[in-house]
Amino acid sequence: MRVEKLLIYIAVTAVSTYLIRMIPLVAIQKKIENRFFRSFLFYVPYAVLASMIMPAVFYATGDMKASAVGFVTAMIFAYCEKNIVTVACASCIAAFAALLLL
């Protein structure tokens, strides 16, 4: 690939990424009053994070059963309101144990 073409690709990507971030700031000057839209915007980061993490959760070990055991363990510990380090350690240990046993 020629360097000129690569630089054009990088410039187009940079401009499009910049526009995605800049347009809402310019277009929406006042505070958003709509409760539905505000709640939607509040939960978007959590939904995006979950959509990025969930595939990795089930394919991290290479064994779907061990990954499911780790996921269920994490859900149980999180439901019991344990801190994130405890949840992560318990789910890793459970997935590792399931990988050894299954």
Percent of the chain at pLDDT above 70?
Answer: 100
Map out the domains of the chain as residue ranges.
Answer: 1-31, 49-102
Condensed to tens digits (0 to 9), the pLDDT of residues 2-49 reads 899 999 999 999 999 998 888 888 887 888 888 898 888 888 888 888
- pLDDT surpasses 90 at 95: yes
Enumerate the H helices of 1-102 as residue ranges: 3-27, 35-59, 64-79, 84-101
